[in-house]
A and B are shown apart, each in its own frame.
Chain A
Amino acid sequence: MISKYPKKKLTRIFFQVVFLVVFFWLLIRTGAAATETFKYSDYFFYFDPLLLIINLFSTHTIINLFLLSLIPLALTMVFGRFFCGWVCPMGTIHHFFSWLFRRGEKKAEEVEHKLMKLKYVILTLILIMALFGTNIGGWLDPFSILTRSTSIAVSPSANYLIEETFKEGAEESGIIAKGLKPAYEFSKKNILPNKPRKYLQSVFIGIIFFLLIAANFYKRRFFCNYLCPLGALYGLFSRFSLLNLDVDKGSCKKCNVCSSDCTYNGSPYQDYMKSECMVCYNCEDSCPPDSINTKFRFPVKGSVNKIDLGRRRITGSLISGIFFASLPRIAGTSKSRTHNFERPPGSVSEVDFLDRCIRCGECMQACPTNFIQPALFEAGIDGLWTPILEPLTGYCEYECNRCTLVCPTNAIETLSLEDKKNFKIGIAVVVKDRCYTYADGYNCAVCEEHCPVPDKAIRFREVDVWNFEGKLVKVKQIYVVPDLCIGCGICENVCPRADAPGIVNSAEEEQREFDY
């Protein structure tokens, strides 16, 4: 049905692909463990005005780099929601799947007017909660979702599947595996980590991402149209944009072709919703009589349908936002004195941390040893998916400060390598019921061997111990020097005890402030 060469549409797709590639290139580069000269890899976040506002509300400060997000916001006043249609990698992924699920179909879909308002309610909620000190913006911010889902679920899953396909012995049975072996070896050398990453929340985060993708079956770009708070924010600004859609009522044949491909499921020829339009140019490029055209002009009052939230919805979301914001604060889970999780080196005090962290998972992606994991409820309910350190899966590499370089919101502040080496994220504690040198009475010392502190935070003292054979023997028992220990967790990670480690790390004596 395309009556002419869809020039604008193809330009749009070109830009979408470019931004998508750049986004994933930066993300993969963040995760590739073999990069010695490690630089910032999170530029996309700085172009997210939602994060600028949320963090302004929750921390009352502005990180200078986030002022870059005023650029897309200003451009929105000119071009409308071009960001959603042309730039946002999360949007592009949904766009792709919406297209994939509808190949060959040309059917107009109905706008879900009520559902459309949901994203504005979400935006209001997030902003109000941020204002009252509970920052949950990262749960729904598109960049956070995409970065988190990719680093925690999608890319480890791809890595696992690749390893399963190419692992020793598999290539003998599979022709594909055999043929692609060189490609595998190349990526193994350049991109894939030597040991595939493991994340304790991969199921949870992966299923959510899967559902978001699957929702595109129901409506085109479901997330963008109905859930995305950033989209809502741009929607508010795009009302005033200079780029407008004009329908020539005279030549329009009401053939409905434009509706069959509208990104927001609308019918541009009869109810052009400016705040929802993502400037995808599908309608303009596909209109058979060429009746739809975009023009730069000041918007005429009443010429476009706009979303009206209604007083009740606004008041409702305001009040519930205030109420919700207070709940985690009084739950006392996240900000109480007792806690047994460690935060990455350079983390600010726990209150500030929760205010700043957008749960994007950049630090988890950057951590070469797989030490940083998304929390479930360890850090309180509002600490969901914030980074905590898990010695089961990794340890803090002494000669590494990568996580401190990538945090977009400075929840983890940048540390030089020397500063990081001295940053106390916690301390190791010997569990005497389990440590072999205490409980069973024989020499072990794997933890002592691995302790990276040059002056040795784990040491021996030779004592007489009744061993497991009932004999009095001399054993080199380990002990921790609290002043030297930085809590890097390698001792717990390498402890040979299989059931539960004989030495554990906790945030006891951590350098940052916790209680307030």
Chain B
Amino acid sequence: MKRREFIKTSVAITATAGISGLPLLSSGGVDPVSKVTGESPYGITKKGVELIGGMKKFISKQDIVMIKPNIGWNRKVEHAANTNPEVLKAVIEMAFDAGAKKVIVMDNSCHKSEDTYRRSGIKEAVEKSGAEIRFSDENRLVVHPFNGEKLKKWPVFRDHLEVDKFINVPILKHHSSSGLTIGMKNLYGILGGRRGKLHRNMGENIADLANGFKTDLTIVDAYRILTKNGPVGGRLSDVELKKTVICSKNIFEADVVAVDLFGKNIDEIPFIDAGFRRGMGQKDISKINIKTFVI
């Protein structure tokens, strides 16, 4: 057994032990989750990333960075169906400040992408920040192995595989079939093909998806949240102001903290349970290292 393989195996064993509840170092204890509340979406995003070590911790010089927001729906920012452009602006700025060579923003929209990109305000914000906004092009799909329990492989836009770093910037909102959509569910946007098929056993599929695809940083936009009729929404009375951003390297734990913020019970959300069984992190919020901050 080579040294590298040995390390791999021992890490795997440790991780398995972590899942089975042994008080070992599971990934949960390692990566802190920041939870910052404040008036400005831009400000809380910057503070949130700073609290978990700053963008330089996640992005190296000359990196090509993919930012994956939720630009799924042809709705305005006040409908809380898409990621807040102000949050994105902060993320793009921080990525460039950390030395990124190129920043790409891209999603596979549910509504017509030309419309969603524009109406969400994201196109304008991204172009102003000097990043590249890109449509998902079906010619660029490649079958990616997720090797999960349910999700074995699925076509993915290769743009997401060809970058150095991947930053996931979901919005926290209600989702009728998966319970909530946060970081893990947001990764649906890297997929092409007939994604609706994945709604059968959705929780398992989401967990496989998030487990089989490496994300470097997750920034949950919970400035405005959609409390009902998600993911598409459209009724202002369903929108609630939480003025919070949650950041973590660990996508699963960011989601757990977001579920708590939303006010739902962890056990109500199938993909949290599925992710926990796959050893993606702690689902007991008291075991997560949360750094709360109010501006």
Contact = CB atoms under 8 A, between A and B. Distances in A.
Name the residue among B74, B112, B231 with the largest chain A CB count within 10 angstroms. B112
A454 B232 CA distance: 8
Given A163-B139, A168-B140, A454 B115 contact: no
B231 A449 contact: yes
B283 to A, nearest CB: 22
A195 B138 contact: yes
B177 A368 contact: no
Contacts of B140: 168
A34 B118 contact: yes
B229 interface: yes
Nearest to A34: B114
Contact of B114 (A194, A453, A496): A194
Contacts of A495: 196
Contacts of A33: 112, 114-115
B235 interface: yes
Contacts of A451: 232
B270 to A, nearest CB: 10
A472 to B, nearest CB: 18
B176 A494 contact: no
Contacts of A436: 200
Contacts of A195: 138
Contacts of B293: none
A449 B114 contact: no
Given A163-B139, A399-B74, A443 B115 contact: no
B176 A397 contact: no
B284 interface: no
Nearest to A443: B177
A442 B200 CA distance: 7
Contacts of B196: 444, 446, 494-496
A453 B197 contact: no
A460 B158 contact: no
Contact of B176 (A163, A368, A445): A445
Given A444-B196, A454-B234, A168 B139 contact: yes
Given A168-B139, A399-B74, A449 B232 contact: yes
A36 B115 CA distance: 8
Contacts of B194: 496, 498
**A-side interface mostly:** loop
A496 B233 contact: no
Interface in B79-122: 110-115, 118-119
A445 B230 CA distance: 11
Chain B's interface size range is 35 or more
A448 B177 contact: yes
B139 A397 contact: no
Contact of B139 (A167, A445, A449): A167
Contact of B112 (A368, A442, A443, A448): A368
B143 to A, nearest CB: 14
A436 B138 CA distance: 27
Contacts of A446: 177, 196, 199
Interface in B228-276: 229-235
Nearest to A440: B200
Interface in B106-159: 110-115, 118-119, 135-140, 158
Interface in A25-61: 33-34, 36
A410 interface: no
A193 B119 contact: no
A33 B112 CA distance: 9
B280 interface: no
Contacts of A476: 177
Interface string A435-471: 0100000111110111111111000100000000000
A323 to B, nearest CB: 46
B192 to A, nearest CB: 11
Contacts of B44: none
Contacts of A369: 112
A450 B110 contact: yes
B175 interface: yes
Nearest to A163: B139
Name the residue among B74, B75, B138, B176 with the largest chain A CB count within 10 angstroms. B176
A368 B112 CA distance: 8
B176 A449 contact: yes
Interface string B201-231: 1100000000000000000000000000111
Contacts of B176: 445, 448-449, 460
Chain A's interface size range is 35 or more
A199 interface: no
Interface in B162-177: 175-177
A70 to B, nearest CB: 39
Interface in A131-173: 163, 167-168
A93 interface: no
Nearest to A490: B111
Given A450-B110, A454-B229, A194 B135 contact: yes
A384 interface: no
B115 A397 contact: yes
A163 B135 CA distance: 14
Interface in A378-417: 397-400
Contacts of A453: 234
A192 B33 CA distance: 42
A193 B114 contact: yes
Contacts of B235: 454-455
A31 B111 CA distance: 17
A504 B140 CA distance: 31
A372 to B, nearest CB: 14
Contacts of B195: 496
B168 to A, nearest CB: 20
Contacts of B158: 168
Nearest to A32: B114
Nearest to B238: A454
B107 to A, nearest CB: 12
Contact of B229 (A194, A398, A456, A496): A456
Given A442-B200, A449-B232, A453-B234, A368 B115 contact: yes
Interface string A94-111: 000000000000000000
A338 to B, nearest CB: 30
B232 A450 contact: yes
30 contacts: A33-B114, A33-B115, A36-B118, A163-B139, A168-B140, A194-B114, A194-B136, A368-B114, A369-B112, A397-B112, A398-B74, A399-B74, A436-B200, A442-B200, A443-B199, A443-B202, A444-B196, A446-B196, A448-B176, A449-B110, A449-B175, A449-B176, A449-B230, A449-B232, A453-B234, A494-B110, A494-B196, A496-B197, A496-B199, A498-B194
Given A36-B118, A369-B112, A453-B234, 20 more contacts: A33-B114, A34-B114, A168-B137, A194-B113, A397-B112, A400-B115, A436-B200, A442-B201, A443-B177, A443-B199, A445-B177, A448-B176, A450-B232, A452-B74, A454-B233, A454-B234, A476-B177, A496-B194, A496-B195, A498-B194
Interface of B: 74-75, 110-115, 118-119, 135-140, 158, 175-177, 194-197, 199-202, 229-235
